[in-house]
Structures are given as structure tokens and as C-alpha cells.
Structure 1
Amino acid sequence: MSAQEQTATDGWRVFHATGRAPDAPPPLPEAPPWRRFSGGPAQPAPPDDPAAALRRLGPGDIAPQLGADDIDTVNAALLLRRPLLITGAPGVGKSTLAYVIARELGLGRVLEWNIVSRTSLRDGLYVHDAMGRAQAIAAWQAGLRNGAVTDPDPEGAEADVNPTSSLSERQLPPVLGDFITLGPLGTALLPYDRPRVLLVDELDKSDIDLPNDLLHVLENGSYEIPELVRDAADAARVHTSDPGGRAELRNGRVECREFPVVVITSNGEREFPAAFRRRCLPLEMRTPGREQLLAMVEGHLGVLPRGAENLVDLFVQRVQAGGTHSLDQLLNAVQLTTAGGFQGDGDGRKLVEMLLRDLAKGR
């Protein structure tokens, strides 16, 4: 096949599951007309979070065990601007895939939305600290009543160059935007020039209504904050889910420019409504094989320790026997038996057995 033919055949793929950071972020395919958005004002590029990537991916290059069809599914989700719904047993690397995509495409810090049974849509969009704002307003009003900002300096200290301006600034009431923080989903939908990566982890643990509540936001790429819509100010600066992050919102509305890369994971504890599944591309991740597990151990620990192969073989045997096991168990066992002089044979065998126990048995 000629180079021109290869480009024509493979040119639509931007993700190859290599797990390697690019020298320069690759351009993404243009969104289809029905998935284009025009939010503003444009936000600066998001920060990176190498510490979180190191915890998830280790110091080496780790690529999940994806076949050609799986890689095509990820690329289709990127091109169509649709969420990925990833299923599979616990510990097979479902959430890790979000970090691999972010690293390989140079998309910055991954936004994590960890789902529990009490999680609501609003938790993911924004939080309004109404109590904190009420307290700040009460303190501001008390200051005005006490004349704290208008009393002259009793010691005769040097006066301000512009006392009228200083007084005006000190008398301003608390700003509403200071008490609103966008959640992971709300931050991901800010108008960035390149998409953010949003990990919605273990959606199957949510209340039964949450998947349906997500439909409008996932379809329209926008939402409103009623408190800001009702506010007299046309614009507000709010906090985001990024450390120290702030964003300017106009008229209380948020709309993306590029739909985020949404990675939704599920352990298969329940089915999702058809309307929700229609908006997602499904991807089932399988348990890694022996060679992939060895590569993962080496990637996380930096080297392949002596004796690691025997533990990997034991791990694979237990998985093939029908047990429920997580990659974390294997990494813990390898770390324990190859560091600090711990011996995994003899009396230490019992501790290794505990680390590699079948999670389906409840103990």
C-alpha cells in the first residue's frame, strides 16, 4: 500500500492506543454539523496534571489492551463527538483509558466525576454555596452599620490618595460568582478551543434517574445556572473544578465550543435506558492477557521485578478459573514481594493469597 493510500485509509484516526505523549498535540477531526457548538468567551488551555497521570499510568507508557475494532470505536467517538460507554470487569483499565486518551492527544488534565448513589446532575454541573454567601452578605451589612469603612483613622495615619475610590471598593457587596463552583461536567462544557477529557466513573452506581437527567446536557452541550440567570449582572466569574481555576460566564449560560471527550465507565451492575445508550458508543474492555499484564507491571513500577512473572501467571490462572480480580491486586502483590525484603513463599504465602483473593466471594 502506498503512503498516499495509507493516509487515505488511516487518516481519520487520531488515537492509536500507544499511551505516548505527542511532541505537539495532534489536530482533531472536524465535528459533524449537528455536533458543532459556538460557546464563548473562549477559555485558556487547561492545566496539565502530571501527578494524577503518573498515579494512573505509571512512569512508563501503558496502553490498554484494545483491539483494532476497539481503537476504531474510540476514534469514532472522537470524530462524532459522542460519549464512550465502557463496560467490563472491575480493574481492567476502564477509567485508565481516559488518561491514555488525554495523554496521547495532549488534552490536559482529566476531569473526574465519581458517581455514588446520591449523585445528582446538579452535582456535576455546579454548586452554589448559598450559606457562605448569606454569611458574607451579613458580615458586609454589619460592617456598613458599624461604620467600619467610613471612620477616619483615629491615630492620624496618612490618608488614602483617593479615599472616595477606596471607600467605594470596600463597600461593594459580595459577588455571586465567588460562591459558585462548576463541577467536573460543568467545567468540561466550558468553551475551550480543544475538548476536555471528562471521566464519569461507575455510572451504574447512580440513582436510576441520573442517566435520563444527562440526556439534555449530552445532546445540547450546554446548561444554565438559574442563580446567575436571575442575577442583575450580565457576567460573572465563577470557580471551576481545576485547582485555582476561574471562568467568566455571560447571562448565566454555559455552552461548549468543542464537545468534551466523555468516558463513562460501568461495571455492569444495571442496564441503562435506550435513550441514553443511543447517545453513547459502547466499548467492552476485556481482561488483559499475560504479555499485557507484564507490560502493565513494568510500566507502573518502571522495571519488571524478579519474580513478577510467577505472580502474573498465578493471577492469569485465577482469572481464567472464573474469579473476579483487579489489576490493583496484582500490582500490590508484585510491589510487596519485590520490595522491602518480603518473602512471598513459606509464611508469606498466606499474605499473597489474601492480596490475590477472589473479589466475588465477598472477603
Structure 2
Amino acid sequence: MTEQVSAAQSVTPPSWRVFHATGQPPSGSPPELPQPPPWRVFAGSPLQQDPPDDAQSALRRLGTVQEGPQLREEEINAVNAALLLRRPLLITGPPGVGKSTLAYLIAQEMGLGRVLPWSIVSRTTLRGGLYEYDAIGRAQAIAAWRAGGTADAESCGGAAPALGDFVTLGPLGTALLAYGRPRVLLVDELDKSDIDLPNDLLHVLENGSYEIPELVRAGVAEVSVFTDDPQGRAVIEAGRVECAEFPVVVITSNGEREFPAAFRRRCLPLEMRPPTRDHLVSIVVSHLGRRPEGVEDLVDDFVRRLDGGGTQSVDQLLNAVQLTTAHGFRADSDGRKLIEMLLRDLSKGR
């Protein structure tokens, strides 16, 4: 009995965290996601083909993989909570802190394929994120088909232009298709949207589904439409889309406005802080593929500006390092002016 107790005590229980922020892509099978809570189970069909990868976009965003976590512990915990609860992440923080990059880090480490970016502006609508229907294009195609002679077309086995050829799903609409594993949707800078968009998103984020009225009215049992993926197509049944796995939704905000309480209730908040000094060095090495001489001095200068209350972007540091390590660059008075220009305080408007 004592031996059994000792053996049980020696077994380490599995960690609830499946995401560790290393950015290390899976070498074999991708990590298994935890089971969703009963109120976040969806039964969408038909299952679509696995999404494509986009290694080039991941490389631009993340650079080469470095050892160790790329986020703080509390940030890693928030991402894992969102994965477990199947809830969107609402990420706030200063510009250039890496909010949108987090979506690519999750997709690469979890083996979830291409990120679906949805960049928000004041004219963005929910329907544009879900789908676009080219009614004019379809009318013109039908007119051209009829002008060619319906009888001749039918005798040759021709058919009227397919309705699905004029429907293109947007990033949100594509993310809500039924996939075996969740897609990663990046809703970038939602605070720049029209005031109604966050409220319009509530139903979709809660139910994981939507309808395309044009397909519903057509009464077609099955339609193949275009998706937001390059050359991608998907099959929709009865004009309705429902996810099988709720997508990993990363919503970023620069804090320019407050969101309604009903919207915030459906999201998990994550406030990202500027990277630490060690993390900044790691970012530079991952993007340049080496550790340039003198990079520590530039990083220290960058950190001093942050600590002084300045608004700085990691992109500024990367640009400064790239410039100063270029062959023939001299850090004289003119060179220093260039560095100051690159590392300028973004809050000052110019």
C-alpha cells in the first residue's frame, strides 16, 4: 500500500498548458487541444480540407525560432485559458509591442496553418468579414451566358454560371468553417472600427455560426464558394456555416476606445507590456540570424527611451540595428541623426 502511494505521488500530473510561447513548430503530431467546455461545443459540417501553411508570413513576423518562451508567464497563461475556454483574446498594449505577432506565434507552435488576418478600419462591416457576394458580376455572367444561346449551351452540356463562384468568404467567415482543428483569426485594431461593429460581432462569437442569405434563398443543398485562403474553396450546405472547432481569435486594440461590456464579457483580456531587455536581444537575433556587434548598446538605448515614458515600436529597434550593421555605416554626427530619427518617440506625431 505504501509503495502504491509513493508511486502515485511521484507521478507528475499533466500541465493544463498546451501553448508555451516558444514558437517551435511541431516536429511530429501537433499538440492536442484540451476538450472544450460543454457550452462551447459546436457541430458544424462538412469538414473542410486542412488549411495551407504560410511559412513566409510567419518568418517575417517571428524570425527564426529561438530557445525559451517569447512571452511572460501571465501572457502564456492567458493564451492557454483562451484555448481551453474557446474564447477570443482581447489584447491591448502600446503600438509595436507584438500584439498581432502573437497570432502567428500561436499558429506556428500549435500547427494551425495560415493565419487569417482581418485588418479593421472605420468602414469595416460584419458582412465584409463574413462574406462578399458579387451580384453584379453574376448578373453579367448570366446575361453573357444567355446571349450565347441557352439551347446551344445546353446541347453542349453547358450550365448557367454557378452561384458559388460569386461568393467569397472573408477572414471571419473562413475561420468559422468546419475544420478538424481551429483556424487562427487575427482581428487587428478593432478599436478603429465603426462604433457598431463590436456589438455586431456578439452573435457570431457566441454561436460560432452564420448564414449567407443569398445561398439560403437559392435553396441549393450544397454550394462550393471561394474562401479567404489563396485559391481556397469550401463547401457550404443549405447556406449555413458553423464551426466544428471554435477558431483561435486574437483581437488587438491600441486602447483608443472602450468596448461594450457585453462584448468584453465574451473575451479574455490580455494587456501586453513592452519586451524585457533579454527578450529584445532575442528578437533581434531571431530576425537577423546573428548577434551583431554593438547590439546591446542599441537595446539599452531603446529600453531607456521606454522607461522614460516614450512610445516605441520593436520595429524601430530592428531598423536601427539593421542600419548600424550595414557595411560602411558610420556612427558620426549624420549617422547619429539617422539613429535618432529611427528611434523617435511615436507619440510626438512625427
Specify if TM > 0.5: yes
Aligned-partner Cα distance in 2 for 1:293–1:69:
18
Q: Which residue is equivalent to 2:250?
A: 263
Q: Which residue is equivalent to 2:3?
A: none
How big is each residue's C-alpha offset from its partner over 1:315-356, in whole Å with a ceiling of 9 and x where there is no partner? 111111111110111111111111242223331111111111
Q: Which of 126, 129, 145 is the matching residue for 1:121?
A: 126
CA contact (8 A) 1:181 1:238 kept: yes
> 1:136-155 to 2 correspondence within 5 Å?
136-144=141-149, 149=152
Moved more, 310-319 or 259-268: 310-319
Q: Which residue is equivalent to 2:23?
A: 19
Q: For residue 94 of structure 1, give the secondary structure of its aligned residue in structure 2.
A: coil
Matching residue's letter, 2:299: V
Shift in CA distance, 196/97, structure 1 to aligned 2, threshold 3 Å:
same
CA contact (8 A) 2:49 2:179 kept: yes
Aligned-partner Cα distance in 2 for 1:58–1:14:
22
CA contact (8 A) 1:86 1:284 kept: yes
Aligned-partner Cα distance in 2 for 1:99–1:5:
37
Q: Which of 335, 342, 349 is the matching residue for 1:355?
A: 342
Shift in CA distance, 7/117, structure 1 to aligned 2, threshold 3 Å:
farther
Q: CA deviation at 1:311?
A: 1.2
CA contact (8 A) 2:219 2:238 kept: no
Q: For residue 127 of structure 1, give the secondary structure of its aligned residue in structure 2.
A: strand
The answer to whether the aligner puts 1:37 opposite 2:42 as a matched pair is yes
Matching residue's letter, 1:29: P
Aligned-partner Cα distance in 1 for 2:227–2:186:
16
CA contact (8 A) 1:66 1:285 kept: no
Q: CA deviation at 1:3?
A: 9.4
CA contact (8 A) 1:60 1:298 kept: no
Shift in CA distance, 2/181, structure 1 to aligned 2, threshold 3 Å:
farther
RMSD: 1.8
Aligned-partner Cα distance in 2 for 1:137–1:7:
65
Q: For residue 339 of structure 1, give the secondary structure of its aligned residue in structure 2.
A: coil
Identity %: 70
Shift in CA distance, 324/136, structure 1 to aligned 2, threshold 3 Å:
same
How big is each residue's C-alpha offset from its partner over 1:20-40, in whole Å with a ceiling of 9 and x where there is no partner? 111120111011111000010
Q: Which of 216, 221, 228 is the matching residue for 1:241?
A: 228
Q: Which residue is equivalent to 1:167?
A: 155
| TM-score, scaled relative to structure 2 | 0.94
Matching residue's letter, 1:21: P
**Structure 2 runs not aligned, ≥5 long:** 1-5
Q: For residue 16 of structure 1, give the secondary structure of its aligned residue in structure 2.
A: coil
Q: Which residue is equivalent to 1:321?
A: 308
**Structure 1 runs not aligned, ≥5 long:** 151-165
What is the number of residues matched between the two proteins?
Answer: 344
Aligned-partner Cα distance in 2 for 1:77–1:356:
34
Aligned-partner Cα distance in 2 for 1:216–1:181:
21
CA contact (8 A) 1:63 1:100 kept: no
Matching residue's letter, 1:198: L
CA contact (8 A) 2:119 2:187 kept: yes
Aligned-partner Cα distance in 2 for 1:92–1:21:
22
CA contact (8 A) 1:127 1:180 kept: yes
CA contact (8 A) 2:22 2:70 kept: no
Aligned-partner Cα distance in 1 for 2:258–2:11:
39
Q: Which of 37, 51, 54 is the matching residue for 2:56?
A: 51
The answer to whether the aligner puts 1:332 opposite 2:335 as a matched pair is no
Q: CA deviation at 1:141?
A: 1.1
Shift in CA distance, 104/3, structure 1 to aligned 2, threshold 3 Å:
farther
